[in-house]
Amino acid sequence: MSRKYFGTDGIRGKVGVSPITPDFVMRLGYAAGKVLAKLDTASHARPTVLIGKDTRVSGYMLEAALEAGFAAAGVDIMLSGPMPTPAIAYLTRALRLSAGVVISASHNPYDDNGIKFFSAQGTKLPDDIELAIEAELDLEMQCVSSDKLGKAKRLDDANGRYIEFCKSTYPNELDLRGLKIVVDCAHGAAYDIAPHVFHELGAEVISIGNHPNGFNINDAVGATAPEALALAVRANHADLGIALDGDADRLVMVDKNGKIYDGDQLLYLMVLDRMAIGPVAGAVGTLMTNMAVELAFKELGVGFIRAKVGDRYVLEQMQQQGWLLGGEGSGHLLCLDKHTTGDGIVSALQVLSALKRNGKSLDQCFENLTLFPQVLINVRVTPGFDWQTNAALVAEKTQVEKELAGQGRVLIRASGTEPLVRVMVETSSAEIANKMARRLANCIA
């Protein structure tokens, strides 16, 4: 059964354009509430959901709409205010709630927004539950009787609870004393959380991207624009930098020289660190994971599997294999022995604990790993565009792969969150990769 509204990471789009409108989001809350009520038949308690959001100005409007929808379905609501996506996953599980909901468009600009759900276990909703919600959306919205309406209350200690959780994922015998760290919060959901975590563990923290105004989320800061962090690290003579995205589930890091390290490299470092403690059976990447990382894992005797792009697909493969580590080059990293979902702050703490254990600086950890040049071009298309029906593009892809002769890769895929086709070429020569990627992109434009 095909999805009508849900993509790879919830429902997302331009604010004011269907489906990111107040009336739809209210109906979505109602539909999700009805599905949750059916699932919670074993409990006599009223279902309760936690709603968190990032710092976009539209969050106020969508939060109110969701709250109304859930209340109309007879579901109680807890409101956390601005809170990282992984924090909602953790708090939903810790408070034994029916579900968690995050109002966020992650790394997108401020005039986008979206809704994503977490199960009672703190994981992304299974496909069958999302499809059940979509089916309920096709029915007429009603309202329970007044005596059964849901109530809302604020979770006042959400920040403190989550800060303590993050700190608990860092080894008790280690601290961050002696490190000067720049933390870029992307003017997003972690602006009043991430700096406290690293400071309370002993680091000297310099914060940037920590003054949200509703309109500046991800604007030239954060994991999608790490150049700002690189400049701040060098200007402050810091040991390293940590960049999160708008909802703080992505991580990019910068060394003392301003060099940027993506999710592929950080996953490699986390695997190396775990191997120093005990055997690592394998790790999961995606179709976009750099070939150099795959070859490095092979040399180490660590299994490696590529999932479809999207952290939910990485998680599915990790669960199937029984592996603990996985991630994407974009910075979504999963450590299933620490958290149920990708978490930028928790992932950063795993990297920092590796540095403390091996006594190396961030740049020294990658002396034996040289990434292959990878050129990615995003081409905006009309919604619903299927690149595989473009005969010229298919033919050009075949020709490029023939020219690469097994010494590189081509990947073309539709974005799961935006009307984009992503064209990627990877080979040993950056110049050749760039020319080939532009040849392919020109077939779409």
Name the band, by pLDDT with cuts 50, 70 and 90, for residue 53. Answer: very high
Tokens found for residue 136: 């309920």
pLDDT tens digits for range 125-177: 888 999 999 999 999 999 999 999 999 999 999 999 999 999 999 999 999 99
Is 106 considered catalytic here?
yes
Q: Which residues contact 437 (CB under 8 A, 6 or more apart)?
A: 375, 376, 377, 423, 424, 425
Decide if pLDDT at 42 tops 70.
no
User: Which burial class, exposed, middle or buried, applies to 96 when counting CB atoms under 10 A from its CB (0-12, 13-18, 19+)?
Assistant: exposed
pTM of the full structure: 0.90
Decide if pLDDT at 406 tops 80.
no
Q: Which residues contact 198 (CB under 8 A, 6 or more apart)?
A: 176, 181, 183, 205, 242, 348
Please compute the mean of the pLDDT values over residues 36-53 and round it to a whole number: 82
Decide if pLDDT at 40 tops 80.
no
| Residue linked to tokens 């069958």 | 128
**Are the beta carbons of 114 and 54 closer than 8 angstroms?**
no
Mean pLDDT of the chain: 95
pLDDT at 346: 98
**Catalytic residue (one of 58, 80, 106, 347):** 106
User: Which burial class, exposed, middle or buried, applies to 180 when counting CB atoms under 10 A from its CB (0-12, 13-18, 19+)?
Assistant: middle
User: Known binding site for Mg(2+): residues?
Assistant: 106, 245, 247, 249
pLDDT tens digits for range 301-326: 999 999 998 888 999 999 999 999 99
Tokens found for residue 171: 């080894």
Tokens found for residue 120: 């009672």
pLDDT tens digits for range 266-275: 999 999 999 9
DSSP state of 342: -
Name the band, by pLDDT with cuts 50, 70 and 90, for residue 250. Answer: very high
Name the band, by pLDDT with cuts 50, 70 and 90, for residue 73. Answer: very high
User: Known binding site: residues?
Assistant: 106, 245, 247, 249
Length of the chain: 445
| Helix (H/G/I), strand (E/B), else coil: 238 | coil
Task: Write down the number of H helices and E strands in the chain.
Answer: 13, 18
**Are the beta carbons of 32 and 74 closer than 8 angstroms?**
no
Decide if pLDDT at 343 tops 80.
yes
pLDDT at 41: 59
**Cα→Cα distances 95→35, 84, 85, 190, 337, Å:** 20, 16, 16, 20, 19
Strands (E), 140-263: 152-154, 180-184, 204-208, 240-244, 251-255, 260-261
Sheet holding 374-380, edge to edge: 374-380, 420-427, 408-414
| Helix (H/G/I), strand (E/B), else coil: 241 | strand
What the chain holds in terms of domains, given with CATH numbers, is 11-159 (3.40.120.10), 178-258 (3.40.120.10), 263-366 (3.40.120.10), 374-442 (3.30.310.50)
Q: Which of 223-232, 340-349, 422-431 has the weakest average pLDDT?
A: 422-431
**Are the beta carbons of 404 and 430 closer than 8 angstroms?**
no
Number of Cα atoms under 13 Å in the Cβ half of residue 138: 7
* Cis check: omega of the bond before 19, within 30 degrees of 0: yes
Cα–Cα distance between 13 and 52 in angstroms, integer?
Answer: 18
DSSP state of 172: T
pLDDT at 43: 58
Tokens found for residue 57: 């100005």
Decide if pLDDT at 364 tops 70.
yes
Cα–Cα distance between 197 and 22 in angstroms, integer?
Answer: 35
Decide if pLDDT at 44 tops 60.
no
pLDDT tens digits for range 280-301: 999 999 998 998 999 899 999 9
Do strands 152-154 and 76-82 pair parallel, antiparallel, or not at all (unpaired)? parallel
Q: Percent of the chain scored above 90 by pLDDT?
A: 87
Name the band, by pLDDT with cuts 50, 70 and 90, for residue 4. Answer: confident
Q: Which residues contact 240 (CB under 8 A, 6 or more apart)?
A: 179, 181, 182, 233, 253, 254, 255, 256, 361, 362
